[in-house]
Amino acid sequence: MIIAGLQKTTLLDYPGKVACTVFLPGCNFACPFCQNWEIVTGTGENIAEEKFFDFLKKRRGILDGVCVTGGEPLVNKEIHSFLSRIKELGYSVKLDTNGSFPDKLISLVEDRLVDTVAMDVKNSPSMYAATAGCAVDLERISDSIAFLLGDNVDYELRTTVTDELNDEKSMAELAQWIKGAKRYFIQNFKDSDAVRFSNLSPCSEEKLQQLKEAALPCVPSAKIRGEN
């Protein structure tokens, strides 16, 4: 397993846990607002797997959990054995995923290798390809959503929004797709030098509230990330 980055301590990535975040390279999407393009393309760090596990062994009793993110972690063929090793050390595991590998997701949960899932729902079905930057098998996304909505594992759904790609109509359509989600966050795009394209902009506070209002009829749990 190639490891493209490691944040040694985080209080934000794994709610309720003192955790570290490990970044795995590769992704099957090409989202234009991606903040981790170097990780996706494998041009970032290259940390030896054993060095990472030596770190985890030393931090037992200090860290509670490991957030596994990317890129898209499930593109990696070794993900099952990788998570198994983390669990063997006694850590809770939070998996970040785009939901395009439902069979892998379900298998990992059923094998009790994942304790919490954070799935990025990119946009409404009609806007998915434009937002993901590629053709997407929406049936697979729907299968992952349905699995999570079935309360098979602790989860949150989330959508990164930009002024150009998101509006009230698309949000209402998205909310219908994830109707009844127990935890859903709208998170505003933040521009940076790491973003692949520079033609996107964050939503205004007014528009964020409008998007939230569009989601609430189907998803009463909807919140803007960072609000009380």
SS (H, E, C) 164-202: CCCCHHHHHHHHHHCCCCCCEEEEECCCCCCCCCCCCCC
The per-residue pLDDT for 195 is 72
The per-residue pLDDT for 196 is 67
The per-residue pLDDT for 170 is 98
SS3 state of residue 42? coil
> Residue 58 CB: number of other CB atoms within 10 A?
10
The per-residue pLDDT for 158 is 98
Task: Look at residue 6 and tell me whether its pLDDT is greater than 90.
Answer: yes
Contacts of 50 (CB under 8 A, 6+ apart): none
**Residues 139-193: tens digit of each pLDDT:** 999 999 999 999 999 999 999 999 999 999 999 999 999 999 999 999 999 887 6
Q: DSSP labels for 48-100?
A: -HHHHHHHHHHTBTTB-EEEEESS-GGG-TTHHHHHHHHHHTT-EEEEEE-S-
Mean pLDDT of 42-49: 80
The per-residue pLDDT for 191 is 80
Distance of CA 101 to the CA centre of its chain: 13
Question: pTM for this one?
Answer: 0.94
**Residues 10-31: tens digit of each pLDDT:** 998 999 999 999 999 999 999 9
Q: What percent of the chain has pLDDT over 90?
A: 82
CA distance 220 to 212: 9
**Residues 72-130: tens digit of each pLDDT:** 999 999 999 999 999 999 999 999 999 999 999 999 999 999 999 999 999 999 999 99
The per-residue pLDDT for 162 is 95
The per-residue pLDDT for 93 is 98
- Of 121, 153, 141, nearest in space to 222 by CA: 121
- Of 50, 53, 42, 191, nearest in space to 23 by CA: 42
HSE-up (13 A, CA, CB side) for residue 106: 13
Beta bridge partners of residue 169, listed in sequence order: none
CA dihedral 8, 66, 160, 177 (to 10 degrees): 180
Task: Look at residue 67 and tell me whether its pLDDT is greater than 80.
Answer: yes
Task: Look at residue 43 and tell me whether its pLDDT is greater than 80.
Answer: no
pLDDT confidence band for 198 (50 / 70 / 90): low
Task: Look at residue 194 and tell me whether its pLDDT is greater than 70.
Answer: no
Task: Look at residue 38 and tell me whether its pLDDT is greater than 90.
Answer: no
> Residue 166 CB: number of other CB atoms within 10 A?
27
Task: Look at residue 42 and tell me whether its pLDDT is greater than 70.
Answer: no
All structural domains of the chain: 5-224 (3.20.20.70)
Q: Which two tokens stand for residue 160?
A: 């990164």
The per-residue pLDDT for 84 is 98
The per-residue pLDDT for 110 is 98
